[in-house]
Amino acid sequence: MSRLRFWRRRDPLMCREFVELVTDYLEGRLPEQERLRFEAHMDGCDGCTGYLEDMRRLVTSLGEVSEPPPDPATRKALGRAFRELRME
């Protein structure tokens, strides 16, 4: 019960977290508990609700024309490979 109150409290830190995790949310990669926290936060935060809608439109339009982005491990490996190429 106290947990639910915590989730519903308007929390500026949660807004920043929201921005960072919004792509994971849209791609369905958030764990159940995080997803519920997201949705609870949106209930009380118009800013994040609007932001999510913008991101959803963006992701949808990008998804129509391009491959899904590589996962973080792949990106990291690619970054390392590019750095090594530049050093040669």
Distance CA 45, CA 52 (A): 11
In the chain, what's the furthest Cα-to-Cα distance? 59
Q: Give every CB contact of residue 18 below 8 A, 6+ residues apart in sequence.
A: 38, 41, 45, 48, 51, 52
Nearer to Zn ion, 22 or 45 (CB): 45
Residue 22 is a binding residue for Zn ion (CB under 5 A): no
Contact residues for 56 (Cβ-Cβ < 8 A; gap 6+): 26
Among 37, 38, 48, 52, binds Zn ion (CB under 5 A): 48
Q: Which of 15, 19, 21, 40 binds Zn ion (CB under 5 A)?
A: 15
Q: Which is nearer to Zn ion, 7 or 59 (CB)?
A: 7
19 binds Zn ion (CB under 5 A): no
By the rule CB under 5 A, 52 interacts with Zn ion:
no
Residues that bind Zn ion (CB under 5 A): 15, 45, 48
